[in-house]
Amino acid sequence: AQSVTQLDSQVPVFEEAPVELRCNYSSSVSVYLFWYVQYPNQGLQLLLKYLSGSTLVKGINGFEAEFNKSQTSFHLRKPSVHISDTAEYFCAVSDRNFGNEKLTFGTGTRLTIIP
Amino acid sequence: GAGVSQSPRYKVAKRGQDVALRCDPISGHVSLFWYQQALGQGPEFLTYFQNEAQLDKSGLPSDRFFAERPEGSVSTLKIQRTQQEDSAVYLCASSGLQETQYFGPGTRLLVL
């Protein structure tokens, strides 16, 4: 079984300040890792994903995340946030095994940008 | 180039009514997933199709929930005898095999 923990339910950040959204996971098997963003009344949009290779992954809208296997973490970062980054952010994992591709999500972090 | 579409976008049902939620995946996508997102929570997996075959239905919360994808394209999630605890946003996602899942806008179900 897999689980994802997002410790921060809400994160307020001033505009143009840096931000880090934390994600830790547990799994008995190797996993793929994802960050999705959800704007109000919209579906989920993929920000970035880690499948293999370099542990630093760059995504859309200036976001990046670093996979740390020893700490089982996949924290999301952005050096300078904008008002438009206000949204809910979800970390997710999926099993690497073929045929078992369902995503297990964390409870989400609401990012609020303060002008 | 349309994305995943879902209908209706909003549904209000009286407790005990049956509802049917539709998902139109991206053309050519083999895999289709249904998730349930309760208020203030992350999405939770319900069921997974590969073409018309339902390979995993371990997340369906009760036998009142039923999903089908008879021709390997459009899918319908049916909830019989709705209960208040079924109120949630139901998300559909589609993908190629072992590829990124693309999500629809969801159907917001409110059971009164």
Q: Domains in chain A, start-ordered, CATH in brackets?
A: 3-114 (2.60.40.10)
Minimal-distance CA residue of chain A relative to B30: A99
Q: Do B43 and A44 touch (CB under 8 A)?
A: yes
| pLDDT at site B68 | 97
* Cβ count within 10 A of residue B25: 26
Share of chain A above pLDDT 70, in %: 97
Could you tell me the pLDDT band of residue A99, with boundaries at 50, 70 and 90? low
C-alpha atoms less than 13 angstroms from C-alpha of B60 in its C-beta half-sphere: 18
| pLDDT at site A89 | 98
Dihedral angle computed from the Cα positions of residues A82, B108, A46 and B40, in that order, rounded to the nearest 10 degrees: 60
The full set of domains in chain B, from first to last, is 5-111 (2.60.40.10)
Could you tell me the pLDDT band of residue B61, with boundaries at 50, 70 and 90? very high
Of B40, B41, B105, the CB nearest to A43: B105
Q: Would you call A4 exposed, middle or buried from its count of C-beta atoms within 10 A (0-12, 13-18, 19+)?
A: buried
| pLDDT at site A100 | 62
* Cβ count within 10 A of residue A37: 21
The tens digit of pLDDT for each residue in B6-57 reads 999 999 999 999 999 999 999 999 999 999 999 989 999 999 999 999 999 9
Q: Would you call A108 exposed, middle or buried from its count of C-beta atoms within 10 A (0-12, 13-18, 19+)?
A: buried
Q: Which CA distances in Å does A96 have to A3, A5, A29, A32?
A: 15, 19, 8, 6
The tens digit of pLDDT for each residue in A5-42 reads 999 999 999 999 999 999 999 988 888 999 999 998 78
